[in-house]
A and B are shown apart, each in its own frame.
Chain A
Amino acid sequence: MCLGIPGQVVEIIDAGNKLAKVDIAGVRRQVNMACVVDEAHPVEDCMGEWVLVHVGFAMSRIDAEEARKTLALLAELGEAQAELDAMRESGKTSQTTR
């Protein structure tokens, strides 16, 4: 839950509600981008960027190198798996996540 997993923004779903689709270690899900965008950097500019995702919310923009290292560490610790499973399951139950 406290774990942040890096993901890459692959699609802007709803710019008004600041929602994007993010690829997190192969799992694609909707992520709320409200905490990493502002007038100077709107959600439309986030395509392709890497973000640290906590419980479905992007909490920090990070660079690709940081993302790669963090993903490797999580894989080593075997930490991210439970979170990714929850992500997959949870994505199924609520189709209307906006």
Chain B
Amino acid sequence: MKYVDEFRDPAIARQLIREIRESLPRIDVARQRPLQLMEFCGGHTHTIFRYGIEQMLPGAIELVHGPGCPVCVLPMGRVDDCVALAERPGVIFTTFGDAMRVPGSKKSLLQARADGADVRMVYSPMDALGLARDNPDRQVIFFALGFETTMPSTALTVLAAEREDIENFSIFCNHITTVPTIKAILDSPDMQLDGFVAPGHVSMVVGERPFQFIAKDYGKPIVISGFEPLDILQGVWMLVKQLADKRCEVENQYARVVRPAGNSAGLDAIHRVYELREFFEWRGLGSIDHSGVRIRDAYARFDAERKFSVPNLRIADPRACQCGEVLKGVIRPWQCKVFGGACTPETPMGALMVSSEGACAAYYNFGNLDELLQRRDSPDGVRFDRGST
């Protein structure tokens, strides 16, 4: 267990792993197949791979890595819209650095900038608003994206723009919501998940209550967790314990940051500025009901989609893409037919290969590639991807 020694407190890690192992025999389903626990957040995925948390867990537990980062799941059509906005004369298009490389159907924002568009990286939407103040003769558009964690920041920026009456600022809103997405995954008939490690920073904004339905209506335990390796290990242990005790509730491992009711000022800003879209397209997952938000009519003048026209074309995902199955835990990332071949971090076909936080990219970068591909192509290498230690 070379990884455990990297932990700040290896003794606690070992203890947690021991307790997880001891609880497993009390879980009925774990006797027939590996337990499938999903972590939803790319930050968790990153820690899991960096510290080899999957390898130190018993083989009867599989971690299913969720949609990764909100940048990866943007469909190509939305990236094309960004490029179209950025290429309008007189526009300064501002974005977080993460979004620059995401491929559109023709180019990424990085390529658009190389072709002459004024695309600028900002750290904060407030910096984009600052650019609008400094350049009153230009139209400054901010590419707003992210789950609930970043929603308050853009909402508060829109409210500031209104307060100051800044006319040349707008946002291209691509914020996505966590809960409807988890629900869509739970509703799919081939879903096999047994529990969820819920995202700590989304929960910091929305609180515990929005996750209750997962326990109540779907009978799956869920534990809100932090990002330290020990946080995640403890989150997994709390899930396993719930399953062993036949309990099913929302528990909060990350109480030092997440308050049960969330962040009221942040939620208030979200509700003032945004409303749910009927549906939103995801790369790899298709259209999911209510999984995105748009700007309310009251703030329409700050909505780039209404202020300018965007092509808004649907570009279908490549046929061979199996991101949906990976997300539902039906197949492991390396079992996708195009993994490591047509789909690599340099030429991503699906969402999960786009950023280092995506599950497929993580396996590609951190896994033993030859071995994984061999196992994919051998007939009996189906479910377990390691010994059942």
Chain A residues with a Cβ under 8 A of chain B: 1-4, 17, 29-30, 32, 34-38, 52, 54-57, 59-60, 62-63, 66, 69-70, 72-73, 77, 79, 82-83, 86-87, 89-91, 93-98
A35 and B126 in contact, given A2-B149, A57-B152 (Cβ under 8 angstroms): no
Query: What residues of A have a CB within 8 angstroms of the CB of B97 in the complex?
Result: 82, 86
Say whether A54 contacts B201, CB under 8 Å: yes
Contacts A34-B265, A91-B127, A96-B130 aside, 6 further interface pairs with beta carbons under 8 A come to: A2-B70, A2-B147, A32-B156, A35-B263, A54-B153, A77-B47
Say whether B256 contacts A56, CB under 8 Å: no
Say whether A94 contacts B134, CB under 8 Å: yes
Say whether B123 contacts A87, CB under 8 Å: yes
5 smallest CB-CB distances across A and B, nearest first, come from A56-B124, A94-B130, A90-B123, A86-B123, A97-B130
Closest A residue to B99 by CB, please name it: A1
Q: How far is the CA of A1 from the CA of B228 in the complex (A)?
A: 18
**Closest chain A CB from B125 CB (angstroms):** 7
Number of B positions contacting A (CB below 8 A)? 49
Say whether B263 contacts A57, CB under 8 Å: no
23 contacts between A and B (CB under 8 A): A1-B70, A1-B71, A1-B146, A2-B42, A17-B160, A30-B126, A55-B125, A56-B123, A56-B124, A56-B126, A56-B127, A57-B156, A60-B263, A66-B256, A69-B228, A73-B227, A86-B96, A86-B122, A90-B122, A90-B124, A96-B134, A97-B126, A98-B160
Closest A residue to B147 by CB, please name it: A2
Closest B residue to A72 by CB, please name it: B8
Say whether B150 contacts A93, CB under 8 Å: no
Report which of B127, B152, B156, B269 forms a contact with A97, defined as CB distance below 8 A: B127
Say whether B152 contacts A77, CB under 8 Å: no
Would you call B131 an interface residue if the criterion is a C-beta within 8 Å of the partner chain's C-beta atoms? yes
Closest B residue to A63 by CB, please name it: B256
The A-B contact count (CB < 8 A) is: 136
A contact patch SS: mixed
Query: What residues of A have a CB within 8 angstroms of the CB of B70 in the complex?
Result: 1-2
Q: How far is the CA of A96 from the CA of B97 in the complex (A)?
A: 21
Query: What residues of B have a CB within 8 angstroms of the CB of A70 in the complex?
Result: 227-228
The residues in B between 12 and 58 inclusive whose CB is less than 8 angstroms from any CB of A are 41-43, 46-47, 50
Say whether A59 contacts B152, CB under 8 Å: yes
Say whether B121 contacts A86, CB under 8 Å: yes
Query: What residues of B have a CB within 8 angstroms of the CB of A35 in the complex?
Result: 152, 156, 263, 265-266, 269
Q: How far is the CA of A18 from the CA of B220 in the complex (A)?
A: 40
Contact with A along B281-314 (1 / 0, CB 8 A): 0000000000000000000000000000000000
